[in-house]
Amino acid sequence: MQGGSLRNWIVIERPVPVQDETGQAKIQWQRVCGCWASFSNVAGIELPAGQMPESRVSWRLMIRYRRGIDHTMRVRYAGTRLMNIAAVFNVDELNEQLALNVSEGIGHG
């Protein structure tokens, strides 16, 4: 990982099941950590889904190694952009970098 390549501040969040005031189960998102990341665009697609068009963008994020990050979590970027984590790779199994494959678009978050 080259110095200066991690220029985007992200927050990783995990789902926590809770009950609302009526006793119904729902998901609340809890902050796991904040960290610096680099982004590279992997793919983008726009498809008609019924009456509404659907748009998705896939990214690969590189972060410093951090134990416990998995595909059930999501990334919050710039405060409002939500990206679902699809896969997490420990680059070369060296415990130095994680590659996160994420996607954002309709239906996420």
Residues 30-57: tens digit of each pLDDT: 999 999 999 987 765 666 656 666 677 8
Say if residues 38 and 6 touch (Cβ distance below 8 Å).
Answer: yes
Number of structural domains found in the chain:
1
Secondary structure of residue 84 in the 3-state scheme: strand
* 96 belongs to a structural domain: yes
In a domain, 20, yes or no: yes
pTM: 0.81
Evaluate whether residue 3 is within a structural domain.
no
pLDDT tens digits, one per residue of 53-84: 667 788 999 999 999 999 999 999 998 899 99
Q: For the domain that residue 81 is a member of, what is the CATH number?
A: 2.40.10.270
Residue 15 lies in a domain: yes
Expressed as residue numbers, the domain containing 34 is: 8-105
